[in-house]
Each structure stands twice: as C-alpha cells, then as structure tokens.
C-alpha cells in the first residue's frame, strides 16, 4: 500500500496521470484559465466543460442553415428531420437502454412533467408520490404541483423519505418507506444520485420494491447520467429523465433526455401530444388523429432544437470513444485518491458526507468544513480566489467532483494543497 506521504507528492500524481489511459481526453476540452495556468475545475456535476469539437458541430448546423435553408431538413446524413436520431444509439449506450427507449428533448423538469402525465395516475386509494426529503427544488416543485393538479393535498400525498442521522438514505430507509406507505403510493420518483450528498442508489432494487407495492417507478438521473454505469432497461424502470449539461458536457441549458421502458412502447397511457411525437411515416399527412411513434420518441411534442443538439453530438462521440466502463474505473480511482488525501491530510478540516463505499457514490464528494457554515464559506471563497473551483450548496456543503474525461490526479492534489494552505494560514 502506498503511504500517504508518497500520495501527497507531485511525483505520484504525475506518474498516475501518465499511466492513465484516458489522459488524452483532457486535451479535447476547453479548460478555464486562472491567470497563466488552467483552473482546477471540479464542477462538472453542475456544468461540464466545452468539448473542443462542439464548435464544429454547431458551425456545421449554421453552415447548413445558411446554404440550404429549409432544404436542410431533408438533405444529407445530418438532415434536420432525423437529426435527433443521430444521438439515440450513443445515448442509449450511456444509460443502458435500447435505442427506441430514449430520446433527447425539452429540458429535465419539462420532461418530468410530460412523463408524469402518463405515469402518475393517482386515485382516491393511491394518490401519493414518494420522494426523498431534501430533493433538488425543481423536483420538489414539480411533484407538489402535480399532486395539486390532480386535486390532492401535498401535505398528505407527497411523502418525503427522511435520511438517517448521517444525512444518507440507504436501501433500508427506502424499503421501510415503501412498506409503510406503498398501499397509497401511485409513483415512486427517486434520484440516481442525491445532488447534495452524492449518495448513489440501487435503481433495480428500488424498482423491484416499488412495483411489488403496486406503484410506478421513475428516476431523475441529473447527477447519474454520464457519471455512473446505468442499466435502465434491465432495471425495469418505467421512465427516467436527465439533463445533458452536467457530466455530459453539452452546454448550459442543453437539451435533456428521457427514457420510457420498452414495455410502454405502445402504451395507451394518456400523454400531452404534439406533432413531432406522431408516427414519422404518416406525420406529413397532417391528419387530425394522433398516432404516436412507438417508444420514447412518441412523447416528443415539437421538432427538436438542432443547434441545441449539436454540442450533445460532440460530447457523445467522446463518451463512445472512452467507454463508460473505463470512465467509471478512472472515476473511482480519482475520487478514491481525493478521499484518501482528505482523510490523511485534512481530517481536521473536512468531513466527507458522501458514502465511503464506491458502489454508493459517483464522482462527487460532498464536504463539510469542521467549524460550521461560516468557515465553510471562507474556505470556498479562498479556493475560488486561488483557481480551484468547486461549488457551494446550502447550508454547508462544498461539492468537489473530479470528472474522469478531463480531471487529473494533479487537479486533486492541487485542491488538497489549497485547503492545507488555508488551514495553515
């Protein structure tokens, strides 16, 4: 076992990075600058960096628009009529789905609302949605508004599972909540990774428990897609939604993603219909009767934003070349290195709120500064002023997320040394 003094050295970080088979991908991204050097950027869980190839993909669309105008819908391999299909197979690979089960469309919360039209069907006997306490506010707002829209009361019919004393949930708490409330639950909506703590969950087991109780099960994968190897089809989840601007590096406000399991491919569940969800074979007949495209594409409403999809193509190409197994292996190594250095060098400063078990977390470590919120803010601002960027989540969490496509052991070491300087100042 390598001792902590060696791990804390430039030589160790440099040799580990030199041996990294994914090191070449760092050069495929624009790294923000801090003076004359690159910033140590650990905020891929909030906004991923720009792939260098994204500009060419966007310019290709702009050139096509300039030269072909409306005919761009029908000409060439990147014609706009079928453009959204160019990302389908790669996206399916990343989330462990069949190509017809995924679609890139809308934004995450819009997709959550649209899919709940079909998958949250409350009754007087089963009115409730079960979710995690402390969810990202957008999810909380969306679910509460859906409960109210159907004429029920969020005070009794939005059930929030509470974490344990350590701030984590674990499968026992989820199982106990489903056992207690399952007879009233119409929908279980759970995150793939909890945004504040970085805790990851066994999606297949949550689906099994929810289905056994008679509920539909869906997931918000905002912090899981592109971070963890997912097997959505095999998990048997009914639906899922996610964004592409975090680990999937597709730009601020990027087009989001959605999954609908193959068993619902030709469902008679209600949906809010739109022209682009109509079967492509007869779409241009302009008939009055909606005939949905089988699969996730049948949930589309409007034609996709081509300029918004272009950066996603660039990012997915990098993911395809790297492969999720290799990315996950490097992620575990980088996050493990960060954890080891924190525990050996900074245990008097930082408390790690994220599970120690690598299987229960992704790239993110959520850190609390010993001494409380005021000290936490002081450290966060010191790091930012010194070219080390994480992000702050109220009331007292600094999130540090080494993204395996572009972060390095040297970045991790730079963070740890910056914290040590702040402590010793």
Q: Annotated binding site for pyridoxal 5'-phosphate, which residues?
A: 108-109, 136-139, 220, 223, 245, 275, 303
Q: Alpha carbon of 399 to those of 70, 242, 358, 377, 389: distances in Å?
A: 45, 19, 16, 12, 10
Spatial contact of 345 and 317, defined as CB atoms under 8 Å apart: no
Q: In a 3-state reduction of DSSP, which class is residue 283?
A: helix
Task: Give 200: exposed, middle or buried? Use CB within 10 Å, 0-12, 13-18, 19+.
Answer: buried
Alpha carbon separation from 300 to 114, 160, 252 (Å, rounded):
9, 30, 21
| CA-wise closest residue to 213 among 263, 178, 171 | 178
Cβ atoms within 10 Å of 133's Cβ, excluding its own: 11
Q: Which DSSP helix (H) or strand (E) runs through 203? A: helix 203-212
Contact (Cβ atoms closer than 8 angstroms) between residue 217 and residue 188: yes
Largest CA distance in the chain: 72
The closest of 369, 372, 403, 398 to 384, measured between CA atoms, is: 398
Q: Is 211 exposed, middle or buried (0-12, 13-18, 19+ CB in 10 A)?
A: middle
Q: Which among 301, 68, 100, 255 is positioned nearest to 78, based on CA atoms?
A: 68
| Sole residue written with tokens 């996603």 | 312
Question: Which two three-digit tokens encode residue 6?
Answer: 């060696």
Coil, strand, or helix at residue 267?
coil
Of 84, 66, 88, 64, which is closest to residue 75 (Cα–Cα)? 64
Q: Which residues pair with 391 in a beta bridge?
A: 399
Distances (CA, A) of 251 to 51, 128, 265, 266, 275: 9, 35, 30, 33, 27
For residues 299 and 261, what is the distance between their CA atoms, to the nearest angstrom? 12
Binding-site sequence positions: 108-109, 136-139, 220, 223, 245, 275, 303
Q: Minimal CA–CA distance to 97: which of 257, 256, 317?
A: 257
Asked if 95 contacts 89 with a C-beta cutoff of 8 angstroms, the reply is no
């Amino acid at each position: 076992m390598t001792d902590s003094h060696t791990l804390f050295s430039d030589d160790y970080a440099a040799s580990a990075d030199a041996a990294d088979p994914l090191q070449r991908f760092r050069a495929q991204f624009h790294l923000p600058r801090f003076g004359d050097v690159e910033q140590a950027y650990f905020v891929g869980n909030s906004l991923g960096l720009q792939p260098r190839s994204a500009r060419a993909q966007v310019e290709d669309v702009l050139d096509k628009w300039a030269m072909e105008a409306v005919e761009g819908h029908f000409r060439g391999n990147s014609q706009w009529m079928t453009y959204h299909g160019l990302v389908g197979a790669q996206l399916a690979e990343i989330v462990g789905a069949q190509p017809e089960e995924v679609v890139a469309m809308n934004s995450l919360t819009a997709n959550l609302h649209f899919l709940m039209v079909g998958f949250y069907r409350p009754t007087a006997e089963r009115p409730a949605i079960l979710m995690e306490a402390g969810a990202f506010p957008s999810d909380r707002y969306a679910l509460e508004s859906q409960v109210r829209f159907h004429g029920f009361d969020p005070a009794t019919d939005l059930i929030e599972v509470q974490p344990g004393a350590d701030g984590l949930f674990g499968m026992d708490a989820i199982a106990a909540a489903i056992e207690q409330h399952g007879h009233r639950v119409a929908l279980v909506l759970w995150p793939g990774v909890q945004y504040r703590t970085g805790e990851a969950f066994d999606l297949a087991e949550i689906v099994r428990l929810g289905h056994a109780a008679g509920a539909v099960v869906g997931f918000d994968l905002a912090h899981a897609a592109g971070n963890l190897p997912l097997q959505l089809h095999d998990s048997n989840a009914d639906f899922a939604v996610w964004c592409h601007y975090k680990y999937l590096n597709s730009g601020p406000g990027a087009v989001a993603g959605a999954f609908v399991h193959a068993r619902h491919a030709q469902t008679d569940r209600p949906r809010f219909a739109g022209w682009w969800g109509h079967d492509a074979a007869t779409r241009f007949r302009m008939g009055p009767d909606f005939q949905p495209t089988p699969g996730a594409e049948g949930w589309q409403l409007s034609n996709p934003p081509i300029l918004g999809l272009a950066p996603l193509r660039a990012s997915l190409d990098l993911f395809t070349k790297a492969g999720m197994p290799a990315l996950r292996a490097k992620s575990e190594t980088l996050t493990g290195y960060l954890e080891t250095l924190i525990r050996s060098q900074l245990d008097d400063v930082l408390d790690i709120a994220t599970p120690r078990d690598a299987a229960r977390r992704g790239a993110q470590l959520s850190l609390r500064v010993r001494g409380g919120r005021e000290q936490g803010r002081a450290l966060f601002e010191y790091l930012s002023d010194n070219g080390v960027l994480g992000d702050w989540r109220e009331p007292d969490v600094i999130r540090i997320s080494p993204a395996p496509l572009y972060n390095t052991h040297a970045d991790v070491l730079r963070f740890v040394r910056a914290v040590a300087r702040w402590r010793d100042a």
